[in-house]
Structure 1
Amino acid sequence: MNFSDKIIWITGASSGIGKALALELSNQNAKIILSSRKIEDLELVKSACKDPLKVKIIVLDLEDYNNLQPKVDEALAAFGEIDILVNNGGVSQRSFVKDTQIEVDKRIMDINYLGTVALSKAVLPYFIKNKTGHFVVTTSIVGKIGTPLRSSYAASKHALHGFFDSLRAEHHQDNIAVTLVCPGFVNTNISKNALTGNGTPQQKMDAATANGIDPKHFAKLMAKAIENKKEEVYIAGAKEKLGVYAKRFYPKFFSTMIRKLSVT
């Protein structure tokens, strides 16, 4: 792979997929900008990178989506340019529709959708001016299918697909690429941090998540998809991928199948 000296900005970089991807790209000699809300965790990721001198930290909160332009200015000043923006930051959900307060629905959309869109819109003029750029978006298999306990999470990820498919079409002539990465179950803390109906974190690991893909392996596959500028890629187990294709080709069968899923 050829990421040598590419300048890659990763949100949600303090743990999970974002951290694993940062370490993978650092091993491939990329220059990395790490972002999340957690400065202490970002410092640990930076120190674990192959060359910490080629890593910068910018603390940001995607929920504060009206104030992201200064963060873009800071990112551009870090290494002088941005080649790839990896929109990886977000929050998941574990609650039934009937039990989820509307404030929680809004918060999930603010972080996952509006935060990602606002940051990308702030970077977009720079990509247009340079006639090159690459948006990478970590969505989810539930960005293609809806499953129990993830109504607003699924909605936010579906929305990202719609937005970035449109952006890709509008800016093809500007040589701007979009890669939508759809993870299945990955062994991270996403389920522990997932919001419940009243907005508090679940604080426990789902069994399916615990048995998910190792983040290091996931990051290698994600890096390959980024390098090849794949438009959309499913990095998931066989069952999750089956769900995507069943929804597309056999929607009635899929609806029956999804109702039988465990909701724990």
Structure 2
Amino acid sequence: MGIFAVLALPLLLFGISGIIYIYQSVRWLLSKSAVQNKVVVITDAISGLGKECSRVFHNGGARLVLCGRTWEKLEALYDALINVADPSVTYAPKLILLDITDINCIRDVAKEIVNCYGCVDILINNASMKVKGAVQSISLELDKKIMDANYFGPITLTKAILPNMIARRTGQIVLINSIQGKIGIPFRAAYAASKHAAVGFFDCLRAEMEEFDISVSTVNPTFILHRNVTNLAVSLAEYLFTTIPSDVSDCLKVAYGVHPVEVAEEVLRTVSSKKQEVLMANPIPRAAVYIRTFFPELFFAIVASGIREKQKTEEEN
């Protein structure tokens, strides 16, 4: 009886782990099958996240249309996808040059995109531009450039693709946005404003497209990790609680960020399940969103306190 009691808990945990693993595996397989033969357009496919999205959708058997600003990088991505995938179950991607900040050219490029296969099943708006700095130090020209990249570009492309989806009464539009579309973080005013604007547009679009059976999804990760951790956006914790010593700053950036692979796989699951909105955040950033919503005065006080402490530390150093 004693031995059984000792073994019961490990066996129970093992059994639960096995069930979770099987569930996740089945869910992943279903997600991949949901995009098989679908025409999937990915903007800024040559970015870190764009490459991972291209990989998971390509492996899922999607007919990809990959968009990017640099032809050489698009060709390199094409070669990478072709070399690692099974050609019997995948399609060779189509490549399209697209600068999402060049608003005047987007409609013409959209025609090229639709002409690749005659339709678009899934549009993934992934292109984005970041900037960091105090409001008074960012020029109005740069503010406008950020809005073009993060708001006007994606909505212009979306509006150009929509008629094709509406005519077929089917389709899905995915916006890969940011937690900063939910809360504003100091020294990122232009970026946060563009992300807030995008959330507002796609929230309205979601309601309007329901009658046409067109799904609209937004995926909001915290900070997407890259190989060079020192180039990451500063963690929310640096502003929400207290100033964090520089020697642990990188560790926090990793702790509160998400890897491009995680985001790409979540995008695939979002497409499969047609989720309306996903927030990819660890407890502290997630809590910040809720505090901002239900206790705005507390949120602003904490953020202001964090900035004062940061400035004080910089002055002392």
* TM-score, normalisation: structure 1: 0.89
Q: 1:18 aligns with which of 40, 50, 53?
A: 50
Unaligned runs of 5+ in 1: 195-205
Q: Name the SS for the 2:185 alignment partner.
A: coil
Q: 1:4 aligns with which of 36, 52, 64?
A: 36
Who is 1:246 aligned against?
Answer: 291
C-alpha separation in 1, matches of 2:100 and 2:230:
19
Who is 2:276 aligned against?
Answer: 231
C-alpha separation in 1, matches of 2:169 and 2:102:
28
Q: List aligned pairs for 1:1-264, cutoff 5 A.
A: 1=31, 2-49=34-81, 50=85, 51=87, 53-188=91-226, 192=231, 207=250, 212-259=257-304, 260=306
Instruction: Give 1:80 shift.
Output: 2.4
* Equivalent residues of 1:66, 1:118 under 8 A apart: no
C-alpha separation in 1, matches of 2:289 and 2:45:
27
Which structure is larger by alpha-carbon Rg, 1 or 2? 2
Deviations 1:85-110 (A, max 9, x none): 00110101111101111111011001
Aligned residues: 253
Instruction: Give 1:159 shift.
Output: 0.4
* Equivalent residues of 2:101, 2:148 under 8 A apart: yes
C-alpha separation in 2, matches of 1:64 and 1:90:
13
* Equivalent residues of 2:124, 2:176 under 8 A apart: yes
Instruction: Give 1:218 shift.
Output: 2.0
Deviations 1:189-231 (A, max 9, x none): 798599xxxxxxxxxxx83555532211221122111211111
C-alpha separation in 1, matches of 2:192 and 2:297:
19
Letter in 2 for 1:148: P
Letter in 2 for 1:28: G
Q: Which has the higher contact order (CA 8 A, sep 6+)?
A: 1
Q: Name the SS for the 1:66 alignment partner.
A: helix
Instruction: Give 1:123 shift.
Output: 0.5
* Equivalent residues of 2:61, 2:91 under 8 A apart: no
**Residues 1:75 and 1:193: Cα distance change in structure 2 (over 3 Å):** farther
C-alpha separation in 2, matches of 1:156 and 1:191:
24
Letter in 2 for 1:113: Y
CA-atom RMSD in angstroms: 2.2
My pick for the range that moved more, 73-82 or 84-93, is 73-82
* Equivalent residues of 1:92, 1:108 under 8 A apart: yes
Q: Percent identity?
A: 36
Letter in 1 for 2:37: D
**Residues 1:234 and 1:190: Cα distance change in structure 2 (over 3 Å):** farther
Q: Name the SS for the 2:37 alignment partner.
A: coil
Instruction: Give 1:3 shift.
Output: 1.1
Structure with higher helix content: 2
C-alpha separation in 1, matches of 2:221 and 2:162:
25
C-alpha separation in 1, matches of 2:176 and 2:286:
16
Who is 2:22 aligned against?
Answer: none
Instruction: Give 1:79 shift.
Output: 2.1
Letter in 2 for 1:13: A
* TM-score, normalisation: structure 2: 0.75
Letter in 2 for 1:19: K
